[in-house]
Amino acid sequence: MIYLDHNASTPVRPEVRDAIASCLGDLHANPSSLHREGQRARAALERARDQVAALVAARSDEVVFVSGGTEGDHQALIGAAWALEARGRRVAISRLEHHAVHGAAEVLERGGFAISHLAATHEGFVDPAEVDSLPEDTTVISLMLANNETGVIQPVAGVAERAARRGIRVHTDAVQAAGKIPIDLEALGADYTVISAHKLGGPKGVGALIVRGGAPLESLLRGSGHERGRRGGTENLPGIVGFGVAAELAARDLMAEGTRLLALRERLEAGLTAAASDVVIHGTRAPRLPNTVNASFPGARADHLLMALDARGVAVSAGAACASGAVEPSPVLTAMGIACDLAICALRFSLGHTTTVDEIDLVIPRIADAVRVARSAAGARA
């Protein structure tokens, strides 16, 4: 099986697996306990916090461990909106956001908050000037750092600069960006940043919300003083330890792996163009992650392509992984103004640390064959 769905989840690295197994076997105490065994667990927790902070050039005390990207996005957007409610009851999100951010906005809307939306360009990014036209009662803006479907990198720093002039806080979902491109939170200017372990070689079910010093935030999960009072509940120590190791490895390999993945991405795109001359690759005129290709094959529906590729030993996604199997056009591509008949023919290929040159070369003829089959199934001429 050729696995090209790393944006959905990437394989756990062997060093991470070993660290988790060691933690499960040796660190059984609660990190909040004051006895010796509890303090051993606490030391492991804080080491992981240091490792995660280093990946994004943050301070360790700014890192809040959560269960993953979805919880982090909810905690950031809702918690910030609640904390800033005295200033206004409106948040703004881009139309390109992950479902988790749209879901958090829906929770706020049910509580009486108003939601504004930042438009996207045809190339899949948000113009920072959109910030200037937001209503005066806007308190928080949410703009992802890199899109999970197209890989387009968003101008978060430009948005944050304009937002700061107006006293608006900025949340960024950096789940797809962390470990793939350098992140310096001081330069980025975001107040709340979310990353997730299973996108960078760590386990599922653990992530981090990084809250810059002084940024207001109310906790969603209450009842205890865990995570400096910012997130209640006993920490997932084995997952967090694995997350820490994955973050350290991602930071170590960042530049070399980014260069390698970019070469593989370019090789894949050249192969796709040779295999289907009418292929449309989305976001090519914008900066993108080195590992992500979103391509439409006119006349070949994405669901038909997925089945044909799976039968040929290739794993990819149609749009966002959590929407795979849906025939409706991707909301991201729709926001970019991509026509429906082209958007429903889009696949996402995402490469990772296990992807090789040989796999890219092997996958091209399989894709070409799958496109022919899918077009035939749709009654289109191959």
Residues 56 and 152 in one domain: yes
Q: Taking a C-beta distance cutoff of 8 angstroms, is the pair 321, 306 a contact?
A: no
Strands annotated E in 67-214: 90-94, 114-118, 138-142, 169-173, 192-196, 207-211
Q: Taking a C-beta distance cutoff of 8 angstroms, is the pair 260, 359 a contact?
A: no
Residues 317 and 193 in one domain: no
pTM: 0.95
**Half-sphere exposure (CA, 13 Å, Cβ side) for 149?**
30
pLDDT, position 323: 43
pLDDT digits (tens, 9 = 90+) for 152-171: 999 999 999 999 999 999 99
Q: Taking a C-beta distance cutoff of 8 angstroms, is the pair 245, 19 a contact?
A: yes
Residues 349 and 371 in one domain: yes
Residues 43 and 121 in one domain: yes
Q: Is residue 382 part of a domain?
A: no
Residues 266 and 180 in one domain: no
pLDDT digits (tens, 9 = 90+) for 219-248: 999 888 888 889 999 999 999 999 999 999
* 322 is annotated as an active-site residue: yes
Residues 130 and 242 in one domain: yes
- What is the residue range of 322's domain? 2-8+254-377
Confidence tier at 325 by pLDDT (50, 70, 90):
very low
pLDDT, position 224: 81
pLDDT, position 273: 96
Q: Which of 23, 322, 340, 345 is catalytic?
A: 322
Structurally, how many domains does the chain consist of?
2
pLDDT exceeds 90 at position 320: no
Q: What is the mean pLDDT of residues 170-187?
A: 98
Domain with residue 220: its CATH number is 3.40.640.10
Count Cβ neighbours within 10 Å for each residue of 158-173 and write b for 16 or more, e otherwise: bbbebbeeeebbbbbb
Q: What is the mean pLDDT of residues 127-153?
A: 97
Confidence tier at 319 by pLDDT (50, 70, 90):
low
Residues 195 and 65 in one domain: yes
pLDDT exceeds 50 at position 132: yes
